[in-house]
Amino acid sequence: MTTTEPTTTEPTTTEPAPPAVGSDGAASDEDRPVGFGNLRRKEDPRLIRGMGNFVDDVQLPGMLHLAILRSPMAHARIVSIDKSAAEAHPKVVAVITGEDLAAQGLAWMPTLSNDVQAVLATDKVRFQHQEVAFVVAEDRYSARDALELIEVDYEWIDPVVDVRTAMDAGTPVIRDDLEGKTDNHIFDWETGDEAATKAVFDNADVVVKEEIVYPRVHPAPMETCGAVADVERVSGQLTLWCTTQAPHAHRTVYALVAGLPEHKIRVIAPDIGGGFGNKVPIYPGYVCAIVASLVIGKPVKWMEDRTENLVSTGFARDYIMEAEIAATSDGTIQAIRTNVIADHGAFNGVAAPTKYPAGFFGVFTGSYDLEAAFCKMSAIYTNKAPGGVAYACSFRITEAVYLVERIVDCLAYELEMDPAELRLKNFIQPDQFPYETRTGWVYDSGNYEPAMRKAMDMAGYEELRREQADKR
């Protein structure tokens, strides 16, 4: 066998040498990230020893494992399910379908957005990889094997995957489980003065229009989602270890779904391997684990794999934003108008404390002093995974910032003006605070120009523009 030589390939780098060591061997202050100071985290001594307690680390006596069968089709009627072969597997304890849950009134659960979501599909599947059935087995390998033994007969329905055309006449209705539903519309919201904004646009020197798409992204924490449910038979107490960022909200929903009083439910959020909003919603898998433990009388663990995490759990963004900006020919921004289509997937499971996207409405006018602004938003169902979580920046702030800064850049391009200059020209001035925006939100304070100039300085903006001019 050839000997292993140390790798000598090195990407070139201009980073400084590692920081100096103090005379007592302890790290000098330069080692510490900015703002870290002298405090040590309490959880680190456990975590660096591998003594974390993440949900998949929980092992209880007699614990069983749950695996979920998911639909390969995005939109289909469920004609029949044959679970007999799976039930006959020697290591399988139970196989449950939507029909079984429906008999107990457990097939649907409320979402955090006043909608309902299927725990297991009953009449039809509404997004690819939607939960259709689950298996409980003695170990996770057997549970996985048993999934292949369940036969499901699907009848194709045309899937609705383009939110732009989801409201066209003749498009299949996804949420025909909702009484009286005849289209794929969820809600409309608007903010600002539509007429006043139109007047400004009609008389403006310059109008720039751009479709700005913020695609669906996924928070992808390193730890996937899962739960261990343990319903204690005698006391009726449910203990749920869960990858949750919102244990109290979850407890309320489980109380509603399981018909248990809240004081009999204990939700434990142990160590978590990242959340980023992905672990706010309540997933069918959690409810399945609870139901399984309730029915079987043993602890049941459900841990999704990475594929399941990416295809079925709470995504972020997915906004199609038609943006318009009106300005004078010398670069005074007068108004911003936007029409937004929000793709919420098959069930409205957005994790938001308000009914409407407050963050978006409050921020899409940006840091600029405007005469008028108007935003209309339509939320639409599609045959995609449900969700629309916060993720990194709450409540659609990210979408709003992308919209306003992009459309301002588009204006700069149109006016052949430096984008930094354009912004500096249009900032709300310090003496205008507290400032009420054209959509009724109050910014309490701000001093934007020095902040902008400092950022430009740190980024070497002037030098970059000089270099660019040289190379052109």
Partner 1 sequence: MQVDLTVNGTEVSEEIEPRHLLVHFLRDQLGLTGTHWGCDTSNCGTCVVLIDGEPVKSCTHLAAMASGHDITTVEGLEVDGELDPVQEGFMQCHGLQCGFCTPGMMLTARALLNNNPNPSEGVIREAISGQICRCTGYSTIVRSIQWAANHESAVTIGASQ
Partner 2 sequence: MQVPAPFEYERATSVEHAIALRERLGEEARFIAGGHSLLPMMKLRLANPEYLIDINDCEELFYINEVEGEVRIGAMTRHRDLLNSELLKTHFPIFRDAEEVIADPVVRNRGTIGGSLCQADPAEDLSAVCNTLDATCVIRSTSSERVVTMEEFHVGPYETAVGDAEMLTEIRLPLRPNGGSAYEKVERRAGDWAVVSAGAAVWLDGGTITEGRVGLAAVGANTTSIGPVADALRGATPSEELFQQAGDLAAANCSPDSDQRGTEAYKRHLAMELTRRALRRSVARANGQEA
User: Which residues bind to partner 1, rule: CB under 8 A?
Assistant: 4, 6-7, 9-13, 15, 18-19, 21, 25-27, 31-33, 36, 40-41, 43-45, 47-52, 54, 56-57, 59, 139-141, 220-224, 271-274, 276, 305-307
- Residue 4 or 182 having the CB closest to partner 2: 4
Shorter beta-carbon distance to partner 2: residue 218 or 438: 218
Distance CA 447, CA 20 (A): 38
Q: Using the minimum distance from each CB to partner 1, give the nearer residue, 146 or 163.
A: 146
Residue 112 contacts by C-beta under 8 Å, 6 or more apart in sequence?
A: 249, 253, 280, 281, 282, 349, 350, 351, 352
The CA distance from 342 to 328, in Å, is 31
Considering CB distances under 5 to 8 angstroms, the limit depending on partner class, which of partner 2, partner 1, none binds residue 1? partner 2
Nearest distance, CB of residue 428 and partner 1, angstroms: 32
Number of other residues whose CB lies within 10 A of the CB of residue 283: 31
Partner that binds at residue 25, options partner 1, partner 2, none, CB closer than 5 to 8 Å by kind: partner 1
Q: Which is nearer to partner 2, 140 or 175 (CB)?
A: 140
Angle subtended at Cα 29 by Cα 24 and Cα 30, rounded to the nearest 5 degrees: 115
Q: How far is CA 143 from the centre of its chain?
A: 28
The answer to whether 254 touches 238, Cβ cutoff 8 Å, is: yes
Pick 7 or 182: Cβ nearer partner 1: 7
Of partner 1, partner 2, none, which one sits near residue 145, judging by CB under 5 to 8 A according to partner kind? partner 2
User: In angstroms, how far is CA 96 from the centroid of its own chain?
Assistant: 28
Q: Which is nearer to partner 1, 54 or 441 (CB)?
A: 54
* 262 interacts with, out of partner 2, partner 1, none, CB within 5 to 8 A per kind: none
Residue type, 208: V
Find which of partner 2, partner 1, none residue 445 binds, CB within 5 to 8 Å per kind.
none
The whole-angstrom distance between residue 378's C-alpha and the CA centroid of its chain comes to 18
CB of 42 or CB of 472, closer to partner 1 = 42
Dist CA 97 CA 283 (whole Å): 16
What does 2 bind: partner 2, partner 1, none (CB cut-off 5 to 8 Å by kind)?
partner 2
Q: How far is the CB of 234 from partner 1 (least distance, A)?
A: 28
Q: How far apart are CA 374 and CA 361, in angstroms?
A: 9
Instruction: Work out what residue 15 binds among partner 1, partner 2, none; the CB cut-off runs from 5 to 8 Å by kind.
Output: partner 1
Minimum distance from residue 126 beta carbon to partner 1 (Å): 24
143 binds, among partner 1, partner 2, none (CB under 5 to 8 A by kind): partner 2
User: Which spans of this chain sit near partner 2 (rule: CB under 8 A)?
Assistant: 1-2, 4-7, 9, 67, 140-141, 143-145, 148, 303, 305, 307
Q: How far is the CB of 54 from partner 1 (least distance, A)?
A: 7
What is the chain's alpha carbon radius of gyration, rounded to the nearest angstrom? 27
Joined tokens for residue 300 = 């049941």
- Residue 449, classed as helix, strand or coil, is helix
Task: Tell me 30's DSSP state.
Answer: G
| CB burial string 108-146: b at 16+ within 10 A, e below | bbebbbebbbbbbbbebbbbbbbbbbbbbbbebebbebb
